Amino acid sequence: MRTDSHLDGSSELRLPERQTHARTTPRVQAFDAWIRGRFVDLNTELEDLYAAQEHRTRVEGVGDALKAALVEEGRELIVALLEEGNTDEGFDRNFELLGNVGYYMAACRRHEITEPSRERVSPLTEASALALHLGASVGTVPRFVSSHMETYNRAVDGVYRTFTWREDETIFLDYNTRSALAYMRAADALVRVHPMGVSHPATHDLLVDARRALDDVLALNVELAERLDVTEFFHCVRPYYKPYRVGSQEYRGANAGDFAAFNQVDVLLGLCSPADPGYSAIVMEKFLYLTPKEQDRLRDTFRYPNLLDSFLEQHDLADRPWFIAHASAFLEVCASHAAVARQHHDVLVGDFITAPSQSLAESELHGITASGPPLEVLLRSLEKLRDLRSAADRDDISTRHADIERLRRLVAAS
Ligand code: HEM
């Protein structure tokens, strides 16, 4: 149990109401307080039991009393919310409540209280009903998504929602959130170039801003890899992000990539193309895992021409000072994006997923990834993304390698 000043003996948050639950009903508040206190205690105690075993992937039959308490206490609070009906507290509050139901359902999945391959309908009937109602009202999938853990994870006196009190979960989330925000800064800068054009004097500033933001992403992700413990992440953090059923439908897990910014940067730079069916399929699949505002941003991006094409189309102006300065700055943005993509695949995925998976038996690999496909299939598709983002020289897929080289030569020749 967490012992700092935020908790009293019963793990309830002790904060003035106005700070914690402005504009919500007492039942919403009660569920939120449970999710932020007792729920975290129960998960942490269960994690301690799993970690104490020789084979820590064994979950079934361990801590059954704690699991029963988790299911029943959560269910009682959810039944009260269902009876209350939709009190329409606005997007932020409804989305937060969906996150709380999602945390409960994801924890039940992690502790194998539910298991989508074992069931055709989620046994969490009341939670499913509430999640479906909320999902339909906010316009997202009815499960918890990355925004619930990151950009919509409201902190109360410096503490945001987590599944456990274990330090590595907050290390992972702190860095993921800051890294996603830095990606958003890069996307915000790039999206402003299009209406002004690549030759506009202010475009240089925007490209420098985008490059700096991506350099921040890289620095954060490198630090994350240094601070995060591989075993803790693999066994105690990632299992909460698995797919689970809501009603009869199975929804894939939370994925750090579920923000528009990553794809905005890909497409605006011109390194990934909306005309590439493989890439567009990745984007299409993602839509409902984003908040509606993020969905709008992503849709918008697909309407713009890209910067690489814009520079190449003006190749006859390559000796102009603006072209040399702006194209050089653009190539630096691409280099930073490539460095982030390589570090993500080679270090974050390589060290934190691929390497620890190798010591597991085939049966234990089930559900190891957020999206659900077998690990080697997922790794191939992530490798392809890395190579598109870094404009790698590949002959089996179409990357912008030759065009980036052409732009480099134009800059070098001037
Ligand atoms: C220990 C840290 C991390 C690990 C092990 C990791 C691993 C993964 C894995 C395995 C996937 C595939 C999705 C799936 O599981 O089905 C993925 C997707 C993704 N991750 Fe990470 N990730 C980490 C941190 C981050 C961070 C900090 C960022 C940037 C903010 C990030 C950005 C992405 C993106 C953009 C995708 C989706 C690919 C796409 O659709 O573009 N990841 N990650």
Distance 341 CA to ligand 1 centre (A): 10
Do residues 250 and 171 lie in contact, with contact meaning Cβ atoms separated by under 8 Å? no
Q: Report all structural domains of the chain as residue ranges with CATH numbers, in order of start.
A: 17-149 (1.20.58.600), 167-413 (1.20.58.480)
Do residues 19 and 59 lie in contact, with contact meaning Cβ atoms separated by under 8 Å? no
284-301: average pLDDT: 94
HSE, CB side, 13 Å, CA atoms: give it for residue 10: 4
Report the amino acid identity of residue 345: H
Asked if residue 369 has its Cβ within 6 Å of ligand 1, the reply is yes
Confidence of residue 199 (pLDDT cuts 50, 70, 90): very high
Q: What is the residue with the minimal CA distance to atom 11 of ligand 1?
A: 255
For 84-114, what is each residue's pLDDT tens digit? 886 677 788 999 999 999 999 999 999 999 9
Burial of 73 (0-12, 13-18, 19+ CB in 10 A): middle
For ligand 1, what atom is nearest to the CA of residue 176? 27
* Largest pairwise CA distance in the chain: 74
Is pLDDT of 191 > 80?
yes
Residues facing 93 on adjacent strands: none
Confidence of residue 361 (pLDDT cuts 50, 70, 90): low
For 253-279, what is each residue's pLDDT tens digit? 999 899 999 999 999 999 999 999 999
pTM above 0.85, yes or no: yes
Is pLDDT of 194 > 60?
yes
Q: Helices then strands (H, E): number in the chain?
A: 19, 2
CA distances from 320 to 190, 208, 348, 409 (A): 22, 19, 41, 14
Tokens read off for 30? 């009660």
Confidence of residue 281 (pLDDT cuts 50, 70, 90): very high
Do residues 118 and 76 lie in contact, with contact meaning Cβ atoms separated by under 8 Å? no
Tokens read off for 14? 């002790």
- Mean per-residue pLDDT of the chain: 92
Q: How many CB atoms lie within 10 A of CB 81?
A: 24
Torsion of CA 171, 215, 383, 191, to 10 degrees: 110
For 371-390, what is each residue's pLDDT tens digit? 667 888 889 999 999 999 99
Separation CA 392–CA 271 (nearest Å): 10
Asked if residue 255 has its Cβ within 6 Å of ligand 1, the reply is yes
What pLDDT does residue 366 have? 63
Asked if residue 381 has its Cβ within 6 Å of ligand 1, the reply is no
- Fill in the DSSP letter of residue 249: E
